[in-house]
Amino acid sequence: MARGAPPRGRDLTSGPIAPALLAFAMPMLISSILQSLNGSINAIWVGRFLGENALAATSNANLVMFLLMAFVFGFGMASTILIGQAFGRKDVDGARRIIGTAIGAFLLFVILLTAAGWVFAPALLELLGTPSGAAPLALAYLRVIFFAMPSMLVMVMLMMALRGSGDALTPLWFMILSAVLDSGLNPVFILGFGPAPRLGIAGSATATVIANYTALIGMLIYIYARDLPLRLRGPELGYLKPDPALLKVIVLKGLPMGLQMIVISASSLAMLGLVNREGVDTTAAFGVAMQLWTYVQMPAMSLGGAVSAMVAQNIGAGRWDRVSAVTRAGVAFTLLITAALVAILIVADRPALALFLGGDSPALPIARHIHLLATWSFLLFGITLVLFGTVRANGAVIGPLLILTIGLFPVRLGFAALFHASLGADALWLSFPVASAVNMVLAIAFYLHGGWRKGGMGAGAPIGLDDSIEEANASTEPGGRLNPSG
């Protein structure tokens, strides 16, 4: 489809803003909830069948995986914004060049990263201070789950690219497939039902590997069968050979994005190291609390992603008059939905937590205490995510990176370390709302005064031209980079 022809992705540049944003965000929200539900069900299987040590092991191993995927995820988010801007300009061929370059360049990278992660898994777990009772289980789980990384990368990049084109439904269908397979196969391989071998905690990881590769293959078949706009055919397959100019833009945008993910990951790993010192019960309780937090923060993450895609298309179309209205709608929906979830979980925290641990677990009262002290902070965090979703749509990433670094390191970890002597473990849990409040205040200041509207790719320029690269390289504009995710 030539540049200027109407794309078949969803047009987010016209019509009422609030209904369009909500309609676009809902499939993303359902997809996020399913992803979270999948992780929670798997944690239930592991916790009930294999015990607290196994649950603590998966918490440690999953944080390592998140750390290793961070850079690649950043490049995927950068590509999504560029694709959204291309669709705003009705430049479908430009969008195909972006997705081809992104997948062609970073698939080899993630394969090498997978191999390195498998080799260095024991050192990573030791660096975390993984409890001795959980360390062998964490290593067994981590080494199998590494084999899922290539499929995870391509699936994440394709899903994000489709959303950038305005298609939130296709990723939802294949997230459903992945979640159903993963959750359903977990007990089969953990316990060895039928012809399946009894693999214990490695069985949980095996189920994830099978589910991800099956969903990826199914999604590729669907994209080509439906002839969706981002498919590559014939000469377009040559786009998988990375375009140097495009790749430079994606790297310059995605590298700071990856650094933001590294900041989040490193902060989580450092926090987990502090939690591990409190013992296995506290580590298991923290892991379960994080399962609930995943649900609480998913609406904000989904709405932040929807805001980013919608703003990117409007910037690409030159519709700056709609950007602030999209942001306000995103903040309002985020506060409303997140507040409702926080209220529900405050009322029903005991039965929700007992799903993972059982009613008699010594970790249950610890998990309830963590939940009551920290969960409300995601109201503040949600506002930050939506504001960052807006500014990243025009390439702003340096400001958000600095904001996250301040909030998650000197503020969160500093508070936890400084007040641990007087507050004990409560200092760890209270550090979450303290950091969220600081991040929110700084995010509002950056949104209002950060100059991010002057950066980015430029609404009318084709991706990859020299003027775009010059803007991506600009060091004088603090807003000239891409997204944080929290």
What is the pLDDT averaged over residues 438-465? Answer: 72
Predicted confidence band of residue 429 (pLDDT cuts 50, 70, 90): very high
Distance CA 121, CA 100 (A): 31
Our CA angle for 57, 60, 63, nearest 5°, is 145
Question: For position 152, what pLDDT does the model report?
Answer: 85
Mean of all residue pLDDT scores within the chain: 82
In this model, does residue 406 exceed pLDDT 90?
yes
Cα-Cα-Cα-Cα dihedral sign, residues 24, 27, 33, 38: negative
Predicted confidence band of residue 10 (pLDDT cuts 50, 70, 90): low
Distance CA 347, CA 238 (A): 55
Strands (E), 158-202: none
Residue 359 φ then ψ, to 5°? -65, -20
Q: Which residues contact 298 (CB under 8 A, 6 or more apart)?
A: 29, 32, 33, 35, 36
Distance CA 384, CA 397 (A): 13
Residue 36 C-beta-side C-alpha neighbours within 13 Å: 20
DSSP 393-452: TTT--HHHHHHHHHIIIIIIIHHHHHHHHHHTTHHHHHHHHHHHHHHHHHHHHHHHHS-G
Nearest by Cα to 305 from 323, 330, 325, 328: 330
What is the pLDDT averaged over residues 35-58? Answer: 78
Distances from the Cα of 188 to the Cα of 45, 47, 140, 326, angstroms: 10, 15, 17, 45
- DSSP reduced 3-state for 486: coil
Predicted confidence band of residue 455 (pLDDT cuts 50, 70, 90): low
- Pair of tokens at residue 69: 């995927």
Distance CA 21, CA 476 (A): 33
- Pair of tokens at residue 242: 């990375």
The answer to whether the CB of 84 falls within 8 A of the CB of 312 is yes
Distance CA 285, CA 342 (A): 18
Distance CA 153, CA 140 (A): 21
Distances from the Cα of 191 to the Cα of 136, 198, 209, 400, angstroms: 18, 5, 17, 45
Cα–chain center distance at 58: 18
CB atoms within 10 A of CB 266: 18
Residue 71 φ then ψ, to 5°? -65, -45
Angle, helices 280-316/364-374, rounded to nearest 10 degrees = 40
Best-predicted range by mean pLDDT (44-48, 159-163, 213-217, 348-352): 213-217
Distance CA 324, CA 329 (A): 9
Question: For position 93, what pLDDT does the model report?
Answer: 92
What is the pLDDT averaged over residues 361-367? Answer: 86
| Per-residue pLDDT tens over the stretch 282-303 | 888 898 888 788 778 888 888 9
**Amino acid at the residue 399:** G
Distance CA 135, CA 54 (A): 9
Distances from the Cα of 457 to the Cα of 5, 162, 468, 481, angstroms: 21, 20, 5, 10
- Residue bearing tokens 């360390």: 135
CB atoms within 10 A of CB 475: 7
pTM of the model: 0.74
